[in-house]
Amino acid sequence: MKIVSNKKILRQLESFQAELDRQKVAIEQIHNKTNEVLWGETFNSTICNSAWLLDKSFSPGRWAVGYPYLYILYRVLNEIKPKNILELGLGESTRMIAQYASSHNDAKHIVVEQENQWIDFFSNSNHLSKKTELIHLPAAERVFLEEERALIYEDFASTVGGSKYDFISIDGPGPSRSTLYARIDLLELIPNSISDSFCILFDDLDLEKCARTFRLVQEKFDDSGIDFSVGYYEGDKRVGIICSTDNKYLCSL
């Protein structure tokens, strides 16, 4: 009878733990949703009197970047005024960066996108000035460390690696079948294509395969002897920012 009783208690404990885990996930989801709403309010109040962001209609969430990303993106553009911008992944962030580039004579904006049909659709729906260049690079899978299906842009380094970028926005390529690492293309640009004063935004760090890559990026900067600061912004998704120490205040806006 004692053995049966112990098994019963063990099942009850397991059931109790499972319920606690479910409640923890539910609370975390509510927390993230609440943060997203708050970031939306912060973003909209921040851009309301912007001199260069004239089209303020954005559709964040789902596949697109969320409000935390849009907020820190605007602050980066408005505060440090980057001149050479590289964006991986075409979308809502493109609409903001393109407006910035169009209104700043010394700014250059390059966007790398894997889907040609999406480029055509986006171009037909959004007016982009000559300051924004859309580059189609198909995505392909390759072996990377212990990852067998790391998704990369074909000919990435040879296409965009000849410049030094002071701002890089990363929301691509994707989606991928990778399980361990995603969005590894940035690693090919460190250190030779990174300006002395720089800022990099990395979306979807709530996905562990993106978070692993973000840690590798930091290791690459360390190995290259480059000092940097790191920060995080959280809503529905987690955004990482890594920048040169002169821009470290961007990590805690």
- Whether 33 is in a domain gets the answer no
Per residue in 123-133, pLDDT (tens digit) is: 998 989 999 99
- The residue with greater pLDDT, 153 or 61, is 153
Omega before residue 82 within 30° of 0, cis = no
State how beta strands 132-136 and 108-113 pair: parallel
Looking at the chain, the whole-number percentage of residues with pLDDT higher than 90 is 80
Domain count, the chain: 1
- Whether 9 is in a domain gets the answer no
Question: What is the pLDDT averaged over residues 40-44?
Answer: 94
Per residue in 125-161, pLDDT (tens digit) is: 898 999 999 999 999 999 999 999 999 999 999 999 9
- Whether 157 is in a domain gets the answer yes
pLDDT at 41 over 60: yes
For residue 193, what pLDDT is reported? 98
- Whether 100 is in a domain gets the answer yes
Q: What are phi and psi of 112, to 5 degrees?
A: -105, 125
For 42, other C-beta atoms within 10 Å of its C-beta total 15
Q: Which long-range contacts (CB under 8 A, 24 or more apart) does 140-147 make?
A: 141/176, 141/177, 141/178, 144/181, 144/184, 145/180, 145/181, 146/180, 147/178, 147/179, 147/180, 147/181
Omega before residue 68 within 30° of 0, cis = no
- Whether 27 is in a domain gets the answer no
* This model's pTM is above 0.85: yes
CA pair distance 192, 82, nearest whole angstrom: 18
- Whether 32 is in a domain gets the answer no
- The domain of 214 spans 41-252
- Whether 96 is in a domain gets the answer yes
The enclosing domain of 244 has a CATH number of 3.40.50.150
- Whether 34 is in a domain gets the answer no
CA distance readout (Å), 15 to 2, 9, 10, 58:
20, 10, 9, 43
